[in-house]
Amino acid sequence: MTQNLLAEETSPYLLQHQDNPVHWRPWGEEAFEVARATGKPILLSVGYAACHWCHVMAHESFEDPEIAAVMNDLFVNIKVDREERPDIDTIYQASLQMLGEQGGWPLTMFLNHEGEPFWGGTYFPPTPRFGRPGFPQVLEGIAGVYKTEPDRVKNNTEAMRSGLQNLANAESGGDISVETMNSAAERLVQEVDMVHGGVGGAPKFPQPSFFDQLWRAWKRTQRTEYRDAVLTTLNQMCQGGIYDHLRGGFARYSVDNRWLAPHFEKMLYDNAQLIDLLTLVWQDTRDPLYGERIAETVDWVLKDMTDPEGGFASSLDADSEGEEGKFCVWSDAEIDQALGDDAALFKQTYDVSESGNWEEKNILNRLNSLRPGPPAREATLAKCRATLLEIRRQRIQPGKDDKVLADWNGLMIAALVNAGLAFEEPDWIAAAARAFAFVKQLMTADGRLRHSWRAGKLNHPATVDDYANMSRAALALYEATGDVEYCDAAIKWTDIADQHYLDKQHGGYFLAADDTPNLIAQSKSVVDNAVPAGNGTLVSVFARLFYLTGDLQFIERARRTIFAFSGELSRNIFPLATLLNGNDLMLHALQIVIIGTRGEAATDALLRALYDNSLPNRIVSVIAPDQTLPESHPAFAKGQIENSATAYVCEGQICSPPLRDPDALRADLATRK
């Protein structure tokens, strides 16, 4: 069958290509069978809905009938949404790097009929430019080599096949000591730009796990350079153009070194991680700027990014009307017309000028006035922002990728719970619980999670990241509600991870399940990318389950995972923040037990005091007076004093005296790490 077969897909990215003259096929055995039957090589194109350069290549090449005709004549063409299939993307990004090319999207790989890669690249222009050959010339050259030089193709595939086996290799080791963690933080903080925040120069990514790691180092050591690195970065991001000052939410990254000009797409996973980090830091600083950014971003997520049934959508596009950032930028004249007498104040505050601050337009930012002004001034600015937001709503909206991904939802669920507890916002926790129920009920088939859902249709096997992040989300909800079903869900999901993802020979967990079809290699990594590494997250999940249940198997699983990857620290410490943060929790868990009844004033007052503190390693247990803790718990057999809600704070096997006064608990916790 020679036609475009994407119309039956649910991915918004794939549906963007359903009307291309290219005869696209979804990934699957049928496409490989066609390649075998015809003898044609496979052209694999991987991208995602919010990707600007994916749109560019689509408009230039995939919508061009002449280029499409060449593709259809010479190749079996497969289109993949990297967000739906991170397991596929990981394999072929690694393949491209073996060819000495830098990875990215769109990814363009050429495969044999078994799916083995032999050449590739990323974006190709329709005609030669940017020092790159034109896409038609690439197509004809690759097809010619495939047909006339089979030995050359075979040599390439064999070399890459050998290299891909290393995707599952990791440098093992032993325990990670506190000294090692502190040495890593000391090395990492040197890479932070202490003027503009962030790591290195342009482009700059938020890297929340990295700065979580530095925040934990500050709590452990009280060395102020770690705290300053985090605060400088958050201040700049919160006031920069990477933040949407009209609607809330952070863009994916900044193309410059001072957070002014974003790559305008907004991703669920970035905002989840930044809500979490900002909450943790706000609990220490009480900076109203952080509180505002958290509240505004949560409002955007709950109103603009939530499916009617409760799940969270994936992203907003960078482009509208075929132009990057058009939805978000302003001219000087537009501001004058919209705001009248208030325009001068607004333009001064938000860096608006006639010449513009980005490609002759203006990206709203407050980088020249990082701290809020007097209340009356801020009230006027808030009114101005509301006016501009209403005008912006009338513009053509960027596309929304409304598929629901289990791993990204897990990140947002945990973030909403943690922020809801800190800010006393039960509606945020309720929204998290609703999203959790969505994933647990609608994204489960045959007892196992699936990765993606859209329009009532489940798609694709779950990855280990799905199980790791949803287990973490379950334990956050367990802390917030005391509902044991959440803890049971985490235990069940980690058991499935052991059954289908565990590398039983070397430890650690593969990204894809052992029964995921049509993969030419298994990958296993502890490296953080845009999202935290699932293996690193599982360390913290196992550690938390151990402290909550007292079951030694969980601490053994945490250590087994650490051992599988700890040798990687000798290679590159930069992308291992989530592993190190999980190790920190395992070593320094702060077990806080409140013996009392949820909903009673005395118990709730102690809980309120607890969440007034920034405690990255807290493990909270609320135990009814007639319940008992595991025998291994340091507070085992401790009870209420004078039949009143009582708290105990335990580090290692040492617990505080009984604390009934919220202020006494607050003071005790203020001294903890």
- Beta bridge partners, 117, equal 111
pLDDT in tens, 30-40: 999 999 999 99
| Alpha carbon distance 334, 533 (integer Å) | 44
Tell me, what's the pLDDT at 162? 87
Q: How far is CA 313 from the centre of its chain?
A: 13
| Alpha carbon distance 622, 604 (integer Å) | 10
pLDDT in tens, 228-281: 999 999 999 999 999 999 999 999 999 999 999 999 999 999 999 999 999 999
Question: Based on the number of CB atoms within 10 Å of its own CB, is 664 exposed (0-12), middle (13-18) or buried (19 or more)?
Answer: middle
SS3 per-residue string spanning 277-322: HHHHHHHHHCCHHHHHHHHHHHHHHHHHCECCCCCECCEECCEECC
| Alpha carbon distance 546, 619 (integer Å) | 10
Continuous segment of H or E residues that includes residue 162: helix 150-164
CA distances from 70 to 61, 141, 521 (A): 10, 11, 30
| Alpha carbon distance 255, 242 (integer Å) | 9
| 6 in Cβ contact with 14 (< 8 Å) | yes
Which residues touch 66 (CB under 8 Å, ≥6 apart)? Answer: 136
Q: Is 589 helix (H, G, I), strand (E, B) or coil?
A: coil
Q: Is CATH 3.40.50.2020 the right assignment for the domain spanning 180-319+401-588?
A: no
Tell me, what's the pLDDT at 462? 98
- Beta bridge partners, 119, equal 110
| 526 in Cβ contact with 480 (< 8 Å) | no
pLDDT in tens, 95-137: 999 998 888 999 999 999 999 999 999 999 999 987 778 999 9
Q: What torsion, rounded to 10 degrees, do the Cα atoms 290, 292, 293, 295 define?
A: 120
CATH 1.50.10.10 placement within the chain: 180-319+401-588
Tell me, what's the pLDDT at 131? 78
Alpha helices in 326-483 (DSSP H): 332-339, 343-349, 375-393, 406-423, 426-442, 464-481
What is the dihedral sign for C-alpha 603, 609, 611, 616? Answer: negative
pLDDT in tens, 274-286: 999 999 999 999 9
Tell me, what's the pLDDT at 320? 87
| Alpha carbon distance 314, 306 (integer Å) | 9
Tell me, what's the pLDDT at 605? 98
Mean pLDDT of 549-556: 97
How many other β-carbons are positioned within 10 Å of the β-carbon of residue 52? 17
Residue with the bigger pLDDT between 136 and 369: it is 136
| 556 in Cβ contact with 495 (< 8 Å) | no
Nearest to residue 547, comparing CAs of 634, 424, 625?
634
| Tokens linked to 251 | 């863009």
Question: Based on the number of CB atoms within 10 Å of its own CB, is 252 exposed (0-12), middle (13-18) or buried (19 or more)?
Answer: buried
CATH 3.40.30.10 placement within the chain: 12-167
* pTM of the model as a whole: 0.96
What CATH superfamily classification does 12-167 receive? Answer: Glutaredoxin (3.40.30.10)
pLDDT in tens, 158-169: 999 988 988 899
| Tokens linked to 206 | 């938020």
Mean predicted lDDT score pLDDT of the chain: 96
Question: Based on the number of CB atoms within 10 Å of its own CB, is 156 exposed (0-12), middle (13-18) or buried (19 or more)?
Answer: buried
Strands 590-595 and 618-623: parallel
| Alpha carbon distance 68, 73 (integer Å) | 8
Q: How far is CA 610 from the centre of its chain?
A: 27
Place of tokens 């038609």: 136
Tell me, what's the pLDDT at 673? 81
pLDDT in tens, 435-483: 999 999 999 999 999 999 999 999 999 999 999 999 999 999 999 999 9
| 255 in Cβ contact with 201 (< 8 Å) | no
- Residue 290 identity (one-letter amino acid): Y
Tell me, what's the pLDDT at 1? 56
pLDDT in tens, 639-658: 999 999 999 999 999 999 99
Strands 654-655 and 646-651: antiparallel
| Alpha carbon distance 366, 348 (integer Å) | 9
CA distances from 102 to 92, 120, 200, 672 (A): 12, 11, 18, 44
pLDDT in tens, 451-460: 999 999 999 9
Phi, psi of 439 (to 5 degrees): -65, -45
Q: Which of these CATH numbers, 3.40.50, 3.40.30, 3.30.70, 3.40.1720, describes 590-670?
A: 3.40.30
